């Protein structure tokens, strides 16, 4: 399923990559969201020459309505996502279909990706790619799902029924794919990822990731807090938050807005210990674990480099990731 709006500059290459798949038996549904450039002509030409390509033309209503229209129009049990500026490598569809056919308990199967751009990717994009590509198993993905979105939307193939039973995509004020992964996780669905690059994701000026307000950092924290507040380990009592920086402030503000309770902030910087944030005390780790034993810990530290050290320190105290604590930034 490929939603597109004014994607003429990259659409041909995307469609060519699908036409060259080693899996020949597929239907590529392209949802044209009211394009005003040459996109309709490109799609008309492609569908007239190759019956595997079907076009659904709609008025311009936005990405989420386009995705839901595609979900309703398709009847295949498995759906692979791709955007109009992405490239699917030749074995992508076949390998993902075979995995899901052979692993009926998995609801979604993704793959690693590379960045497709006219310029070398920036350090942030490269680090995010490497982090996502490192998460392979269901356990890896679920354990890290509150750090950032662990799955790149154009790399996934999922069971249509699993998504439809959750109501499809939602327009919530944050990105629709992360919202879907979190709903699937809370529904108990299993994920997996092939440790092989099968997609090249385009990163060009104007890509929605860079321009849509739903992709702003604050929106991601609202999304995380919305789902965290519904997790049993948050509902059962006040949580402890590691960090007194920007990430912790954003997370705590969003959690409190969702009605969750925060007991205190744990900090190692002596300059910050003894103060308050959001009306909660900022205390040392020793004091925090002494005063609030057994409370679930959310580590909201923005630096990826700091996570390993925090995890080692928590593990040394006998805490277990996923059971006693989670990383949320």
**pLDDT given at position 209:** 56
At residue 45 the predicted structure's pLDDT band, cuts being 50, 70 and 90, is very high
Is 2-213 a CATH 3.90.550.10 domain?
A: yes
Q: Specify the CATH architecture of the domain 219-327.
A: 3-Layer(aba) Sandwich (3.40)
**pLDDT given at position 210:** 53
**pLDDT given at position 206:** 59
pLDDT of residue 37 exceeding 90: yes
**pLDDT given at position 214:** 81
Q: What is the rounded CA–CA span in Å between residue 93 and residue 82?
A: 11
**pLDDT given at position 211:** 64
- Fold matches, 2-213 and 219-327: no
At residue 304 the predicted structure's pLDDT band, cuts being 50, 70 and 90, is confident
pLDDT of residue 302 exceeding 80: no
**299 CB-near residues (< 8 Å, 6+ apart):** 241, 242, 243, 307, 310, 311, 314, 325, 326, 327, 328, 329
Q: What is the mean pLDDT of the chain?
A: 95
pLDDT of residue 324 exceeding 70: yes
What pTM does this model have? 0.95
Tell me the average pLDDT across 306-316. Answer: 94
9-24 residue pLDDT tens: 999 999 999 999 999 9
Residue given tokens 């959690």 in the structure block: 255
**pLDDT given at position 245:** 86
**pLDDT given at position 112:** 98
Helix (H/G/I), strand (E/B), else coil: 46: helix
100-121 residue pLDDT tens: 999 999 999 999 999 999 888 9
Tell me the average pLDDT across 215-241. Answer: 96
185-211 residue pLDDT tens: 999 999 999 999 999 999 976 555 556
**pLDDT given at position 207:** 58
Tell me the domain boundaries of the chain: 2-213, 219-327
Lowest mean pLDDT among 7-16, 107-116, 212-221, 280-289: 212-221
At residue 175 the predicted structure's pLDDT band, cuts being 50, 70 and 90, is very high
Q: What is the rounded CA–CA span in Å between residue 142 and residue 231?
A: 13
CA atoms within 13 A on the CB side of 87: 16
CA atoms within 13 A on the CB side of 260: 30
Q: For the chain, what percent of residues have pLDDT higher than 70?
A: 98
**pLDDT given at position 182:** 98
């Amino acid at each position: 399923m490929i939603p597109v709006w004014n994607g003429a500059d990259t659409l041909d290459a995307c469609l060519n990559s699908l036409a060259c798949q080693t899996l020949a038996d597929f239907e590529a549904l392209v949802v044209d969201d009211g394009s005003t450039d040459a996109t309709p002509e490109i799609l008309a030409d492609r569908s007239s020459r190759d019956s595997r390509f079907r076009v659904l033309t709609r008025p311009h209503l936005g990405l989420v309505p386009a995705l839901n229209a595609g979900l309703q129009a398709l009847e295949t049990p498995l759906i692979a996502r791709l955007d109009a500026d992405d490239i699917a490598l030749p074995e992508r569809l076949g390998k993902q279909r075979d995995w899901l056919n052979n692993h009926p308990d998995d609801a979604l199967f993704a793959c690693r990706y590379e960045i497709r751009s006219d310029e070398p990717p920036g350090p942030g994009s490269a680090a995010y790619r490497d982090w996502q590509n490192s998460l392979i198993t269901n356990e890896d993905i679920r354990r890290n799902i509150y750090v950032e979105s662990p799955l790149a939307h154009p790399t996934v193939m999922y069971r249509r029924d699993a998504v439809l039973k959750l109501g499809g995509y939602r327009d919530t004020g944050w990105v629709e794919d992360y919202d879907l992964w979190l709903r699937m996780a809370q529904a108990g669905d299993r994920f997996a990822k092939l440790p092989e690059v099968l997609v090249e994701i385009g990163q060009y000026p104007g890509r929605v990731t860079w321009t849509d307000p739903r992709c702003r950092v604050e929106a991601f924290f609202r999304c995380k807090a919305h789902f965290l507040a519904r997790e049993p380990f948050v509902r059962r009592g006040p949580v402890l938050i590691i960090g007194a920086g920007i990430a912790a402030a954003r997370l705590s503000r969003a959690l409190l807005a969702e009605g969750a309770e925060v007991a205190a902030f744990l900090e190692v910087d002596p300059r910050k210990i003894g103060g308050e944030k959001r009306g909660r005390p900022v205390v040392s780790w020793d004091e925090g674990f002494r005063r609030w034993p057994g409370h679930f810990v959310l580590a909201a530290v923005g630096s990826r480099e700091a996570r390993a050290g925090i995890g080692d320190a928590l593990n040394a105290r006998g805490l277990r990731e996923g059971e006693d604590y989670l990383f949320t930034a």
